[in-house]
Amino acid sequence: MTPGEKRKLLKIFVKLYPHPRSELNFKTHYQLIVSVILSAQCTDKKVNQVTPVLFKKYSSFAELGKARLNTVEKIIRPINYYKTKSKNIIAMAKIVDQELKGKLPKKHEELQKLPGVGRKTANVVLVEMGKDALPVDTHVFRVSRRLGLAKGRNPDQVEDELKQEFKSEHWRNLHHWLIFHGRRVCKAQRPLCGECRLSDICPSAG
Ligand code: SF4
């Protein structure tokens, strides 16, 4: 994409999606990281259905860190990989409570040391903490490649390319915009190119 086309892309995204934000429901850093861990390979909608029950029973890192595994498994059973995720969120909460004084780290490398937290999860948490990060999920990966913003064959390569293409001040919004566009218009199976406002700058249009 040319610099002019990139400027146009950002302008269109601002108009299309004026409130770029996560579609996960959370109020605290505790709720944020638990929701993001649960959302791996699962829809935000499904996560939002189980977290109110989970957060009512365990309202902090300290409480979740002491939770019984089978009780957590029962609550988050509708979530993909609920057994592994149950173990991970309990172990993560225990570490944050006992070793980090109940405070979530604000650095990528420290977040990634926590159970269940990989590069993308750490990036999503940082975005929601207001840091400049650009997590690449399945929508960001697909839409940015279709738009010609990246050619990378894996999410890490695409993240590096997008970070080179755009100033850091745009990373957070771009992450949300590409997800919104991927969910609503540039769908995996049948992209709605005929309705897409980006079709005149998109090399994959049609
Ligand atoms: S024109 Fe089609 S392929 Fe390109 S971004 Fe829009 S929906 Fe996706």
Between the CA of 184 and the centroid of ligand 1 the distance, in Å, is 11
* Ligand 1 midpoint to CA 59 (Å): 42
24 C-beta closer than 6 A to ligand 1: no
Residue with tokens 């498994």: 73
Task: Compute the distance from residue 194 Cα to the ligand 1 centre, in Å.
Answer: 8
Determine if ligand 1 sits within 6 Å of the CB of residue 12. no
Please write the tens of the pLDDT for every residue from 7-17: 999 999 999 99
Residue 44's closest CA among 143, 154, 124? 124
60 close to ligand 1 (CB < 6 Angstrom): no
* Ligand 1 lined by 105 (C-beta under 6 Å): no
pLDDT < 50 positions in the chain: none
For ligand 1, the distance from its centroid to the CA atom of residue 146, given in whole angstroms, is 7
Predicted confidence at residue 101, as pLDDT, reads 96
Catalytic residues: 120, 137
The residue whose CA has the least distance to atom 8 of ligand 1 is: 186
Closest CA to 104 of 136, 129, 68: 129
User: 113-122 pLDDT, tens per residue?
Assistant: 999 999 999 9
Pocket lining: 90 vs ligand 1, CB cutoff 6 Å = no
Q: What is the model's pLDDT at position 174?
A: 96
Radius of gyration of the chain (CA): 18
Average pLDDT, whole number, for the chain?
A: 96
Q: How far is CA 124 from CA 4, 42, 66, 117, 204, in A?
A: 28, 14, 25, 10, 27
